[in-house]
Structure 1
Amino acid sequence: MKTFPRGLLAASCLMFASTSVLAAAPTGINPRVLGTRAIVACDAVEKSCGVASISFPAGISGLVPYGRPDVAVASMFYPSVDDAEAVLARTDAGDTAQAAVDYVFTVDPYADYRQLAAVKLNSDGTITVGQQTGAESASQRCAVKGATFVVQANNQTTATICEAMATGFQKAKGSLPQRLLASLKAGARVGGDNNGERSGVIRVWSSENEAVFYTKVLADAVVHSSKHALRELDVEMNRYQAGVAAPYASDLIPLDKETAKVVKRVLHKLGYYRGRMDATWNDAAEQALYDFNWNNSFFLKPTVVVDGQRKIDGPLVNSMRDADLDALAPASH
């Protein structure tokens, strides 16, 4: 793919003299496999920003998402790291997300072949969003902007997919990674990539999660070339959140009878729990959960009582339900 001379867009952030003439599509790229849907969002309470995207070709994890805890970008159709970096530079200079995207489109000679979304979390907690889709982007393209998010897509089986993803995100509960995943699932219920969906990525950056001590990546899940990409993306993200991320109160779920059975079953198979295999929760089960976390997770995730109801971390439960038990540390007695 042709790119800008290094530093061109960064320099353009300081001064712009004339409107660029739009160029023909870059050569050497197979446009047949292009087509992606994505959501970009920030959360002022969590102080995090992220991108969730699913598409056909492998490699979108290195093409579509770009960002950090205060800004996230999805670069699509003919993706461009130069465009993504220019958006970051413009927002650092004080532009809103929309102004940054608009400006990049004026200086990018391949703007007609881009689809670009950005969401910026400002230091005062306000959020701005921006989006543009080039005129030569694939058919069945769409975009929806909300107060804290942008959904965009191209080369889809239906142009209604953006509205479905936006609604799914707004109705979802939990941490930002969980809501981004819910948006992808909501879109899948109405359509998808015309080529099929085989690869996906969810990446979220945070500046305040306890995990920032060692990483600003709050969630990271990647799937390449799988017929069940969305399902595997779900599994991988919950494994990451359960194993690496600190827990969020918004991800707590009731420890009901079925959930207790799931957790106790895994703890029993790994040798942590030796008690009764029923739907109750007792001190032995709690100790087993503690021991499991001690051997497998960066952060301990015990059950907690909220307003008289016992709850447990949802990503932890999901990861245990889908666990490859051979990949987890068994109990050592």
Structure 2
Amino acid sequence: MTFSIVGRSDDGAAIGVAVASKFLGVGAAVPAALVNVGAVATQSYANLAYRPQALALLGTGVDAESAVKALIAADSGPVSHRQLGVVGASGPGATFTGTDCHAWAGGVAGEGYAAQGNMLAGPEVIASMERAWLNSSGALPQRLLAALRAGDQAGGDRRGRQSAALLVVSEGRGYGGTSDVWADLRVDDHTDPVAELGRLLEMHSLYFESPDPATLLTLEGEVAEEVRSRLAAAGFTGADLDEELASWAGVENLEMRVVTGAIDPLVLAHLRASA
């Protein structure tokens, strides 16, 4: 009834889960992740206890395959209907699909990832997810989303679309460096949840990630003149340009992108659109 991918960045610094389903609020049930430990997706008559149990096992140094086997062996419920994907802080991921999961059901795993799904349009859903994952590059949230999009475009859940979620953890990558939760985004009830999840991730990147130093524009000359003029039109008329830009950015929730003496091109574009 769901398709998901658990994955780890190439450098091992980030771990996460992306999932979609014809199910209300799938993000509240399927994914879990712990920084420097691993990630898990539990689905198809999901046993939510797998989430803390898997992370506890991985935290003791157990590999993903052994963690999956231990969870299944200890489960007194309908194991033949369960589906599970696990990835640890190192090594290959692991996946399990019970023999009685609704067709089409199955999964694949490799170094640093596992993709799985049930009640899917066909095996091409998982195959497309794996290809997208292996062919992608860049930040982990975008890689996981690329795999989820590929599965959705290949047919996804054969019952239709309703919800999607993305959970990624990385040490110190949360808001202001005070959390390890890099991204925790959920679309609980939507006609096109994977596309909506992509829109939310774009917003998340804009509002909560720091700017690329290589792209910054120095606040001088024509750039400074334009910024001062647009800030004044928005009611920020103080003499200190850096202070006024920081004040405006705080109002617009762009404080993570403020840099003294310079401006992020994304912030400038937002200023142009809002002024």
TM class by shorter-chain length? 0.7 to 0.9
Match of 2:162 in 1: 198
Query: Is residue 66 from structure 1 mapped to residue 23 from structure 2 by the alignment?
Result: no
Contact 1:46-1:206 within 8 A present in 2 as well: no
Query: Is residue 117 from structure 1 mapped to residue 74 from structure 2 by the alignment?
Result: no
- Going from structure 1 to structure 2, the CA distance change for 1:54 and 1:272 (only over 3 Å counts) comes to farther
Match of 2:66 in 1: 99
Match of 1:233 in 2: 197
Q: Give the drift of 1:241.
A: 2.4
| Structure 2, gaps ≥5 residues long | 216-225, 234-243
Match of 2:238 in 1: none
Q: Which is richer in helix?
A: 2
Match of 2:8 in 1: 42
Match of 1:83 in 2: 50
How many residues are paired up?
254
> What is the CA–CA distance in structure 2 between the aligned matches of 1:46 and 1:312, rounded to whole Å?
30
Contact 2:44-2:82 within 8 A present in 1 as well: yes
Contact 2:171-2:179 within 8 A present in 1 as well: no
> What is the CA–CA distance in structure 2 between the aligned matches of 1:101 and 1:248, rounded to whole Å?
39
With the length of structure 2 as denominator, give the TM-score of the two structures. Answer: 0.79
> What is the CA–CA distance in structure 2 between the aligned matches of 1:44 and 1:248, rounded to whole Å?
20
Q: Give the drift of 1:298.
A: 4.1
**Equivalences for 1:241-320 in 2 at 5 Å?**
241-246=205-210, 293-294=249-250, 295-300=252-257
**Equivalences for 1:168-187 in 2 at 5 Å?**
168-187=132-151
Match of 1:259 in 2: none
- SS at 2:58's partner residue? helix
With the length of structure 1 as denominator, give the TM-score of the two structures. Answer: 0.66
Q: Give the drift of 1:136.
A: 1.2
Higher relative contact order (CA 8 A, sep 6+): 2
Match of 2:179 in 1: 215
Q: Give the drift of 1:95.
A: 1.0
Cα distance per residue 1:169-218 (max 9 Å; x no partner): 22223210011111111112221111101101011111143746322211
**Equivalences for 1:154-165 in 2 at 5 Å?**
154-165=118-129
> What is the CA–CA distance in structure 1 between the aligned matches of 2:120 and 2:73, rounded to whole Å?
26
Match of 1:133 in 2: 97
Structure 1 vs Structure 2: percent identity of aligned residues? Answer: 25
- SS at 2:201's partner residue? helix
> What is the CA–CA distance in structure 1 between the aligned matches of 2:113 and 2:24, rounded to whole Å?
25
